[in-house]
Amino acid sequence: GALSMWGDRMWHFAISVFLIELYGRNLLLTAVFGLVVAGSVLMFGALIGDWVDRNPRNKVAHASLFVQNISVTICSIVLMLVFSYKQRIEQIWDGWLTVVCYTVVIVLADVANLASTALTIAIQRDWIVVITGYNRGHLAGMNATMRRIDQVTNILAPLAVGQVMTLASNVVGCGFILGWNLVSLIVEFFFLSRVYRIVPALSAKPPSVAVDQAYLQRIERKRLQGEGNVARPQALTEGNCNSSLHLKEITDLPLCFRRFRWLVSTCKDGWMAYYRQPVFLAGMGLAFLYTTVLGFDCITTGYAYTQGISGSLLSLLMGVSAITGLMGTIMFTRLRKAYGLVNTGIISSCLHLGCLLLCVCSVFAPGSPMDLSLLMPDISSNSSTALGMTGQRQKHTYPMMGGNNQPLLPDRSSIHWTNNTVLFDNVPSGTAPESYISIILLFLGVITARIGLWSFDLTVTQLLQENICESERGVVNGVQSSMNYLMDLLHFIMVISAPQPQHFGILVIISVFFITTGHTMYFLYAHKAKRKRRLDT
């Protein structure tokens, strides 16, 4: 798990930097990559989960690991070639070869992300449950440990690869990631095989097929004969029949249409299975927490830069946020032991919302640049008076090179910096805001809220692990990943609709609204769960 998370964090940081460098320090490729990744998981999440359910655990883990690491390796090789021969490549096919290279890089990176999603579902949502022997106490400890590893690697891995890229070059950075993935592939493959051998329960996966293949063939043969069709029926395969979830009427359509129909019906049944789960509201509540700008991504970072916060201070704040995240994992294990899993989620939700009130207060505190008039259309663009008033209202916004209305960075990747040099050269210097109260309240709320956030995340994760039957564990968690990315897409739309620093306060309020809605869904789930428990007793 540690090796996998380290490689993922390193790659997610590096690919964002590489795409910016490739396109002349423009965010277009990064935004396209983010959109492709979110859209692909949204579309194929249920299919990935169904594939995890239908295949043996060792084959799923090994195949996902192989596809992920090989995709990253090939992508690193392509990036090395592009960085080394960029000028020559731009002259071939009138520059279209460059577009082909960009497309190949984004596609390979997206395939790696899909394989990483499959591996995460298999290991962190299925293997862990079996390894702990379905013991709730051990499961809580294992989930907390995995989250602590994730928090630590989230800080150290980007710093490590960032140092390599700074001290050497982007080509050397690609080579470092390439070598890491090849070595990590061998080591992770060995460890997964070892765990699979020493835990016999992992090989005892219950069959997800309720009806055998021969019976399905007999039914199809009788149906064709009843219709007077003397043609010999085609043998059924996994490609045209999803017997793990349902038995659909098989038509005489060509194979490609039957395959497409199978894909559509698998996605539909996966979403229906997710909706039928008793923890549906809890999962939806977690997904709603993804529609937020209150995190350490490039949007919040870009806003902080416009308010005169330096990159070194932001990196320090990011480290403190990792510590509070670790505190959340510790709090989760203790609260679960003392009050139970459902009550732990309630306490974590209240703590999370309470801390986020500081972010709401920051919108109206001294030093806040919020200006609602900027959301209204300009009635008279030639009015110098209106322009003068706007200039006065923007007195708390410190201009970047693009002017006062420089958009916030529409990217959800990690903070992009190498050493103390931010990738964007237009960071304000020598400016001091009139008041730091607003930005202090904002980051105080974001950092302290991570205690409740990660405790709540672990609560919902374990609820999904405990309450989903083993034969549907993969597809339900695949749909959960799709829901998370869907809500994340709404976050992109929010920023595109209100991209100016003066709009950030509106984004904060909308984010808190979505988070409150998510926690309200969890409260409804907790109420139903407690009522059911009382009726059962």
Sequential DSSP letters for 95-140? GHHHHHHHHHHHHHHHHHHHHHHHHHHHIIIIIHHHHTTT-HHHHH
pLDDT over threshold 70, residue 375: no
pLDDT over threshold 90, residue 239: no
Between CA 227 and CA 238 the distance in angstroms is 25
CB 210 within 8 Å of CB 54: no
Q: Is 421 helix (H, G, I), strand (E, B) or coil?
A: strand
| 327 confidence band (pLDDT: 50, 70, 90) | very high
Placement of tokens 């996994």 in the chain:
238
Nearest alpha-carbon partner for 145 in 330, 6, 9: 330
pLDDT of residue 84: 83
Between CA 458 and CA 345 the distance in angstroms is 9
CA 228 to chain CA mean position, Å: 52
Nearest alpha-carbon partner for 140 in 398, 297, 341, 364: 341
Q: Is 403 helix (H, G, I), strand (E, B) or coil?
A: strand
Q: Could you report the per-residue pLDDT of 260-278, keeping only the tens digit for each?
A: 777 787 788 888 888 888 9
pLDDT of residue 351: 95
Between CA 317 and CA 306 the distance in angstroms is 16
Read off the pLDDT of each residue in 486-496 and give the average, rounded to a whole number.
81
Q: Could you report the per-residue pLDDT of 427-472, keeping only the tens digit for each?
A: 444 445 577 788 889 999 999 999 999 999 999 999 998 888 888 8
| 83 confidence band (pLDDT: 50, 70, 90) | confident
Q: Which two tokens stand for residue 287?
A: 């997904």
Q: Please report which helix (H) or strand (E) contains residue 31, including its range.
A: helix 28-54
SS (H, E, C) 147-169: HHHHHHHHHHHHHHHHHHHHHCC
pLDDT of residue 100: 86
pLDDT of residue 372: 61
Comparison of pLDDT for 163 and 255, the residue scoring more: 163
End-to-end CA distance of the chain: 39
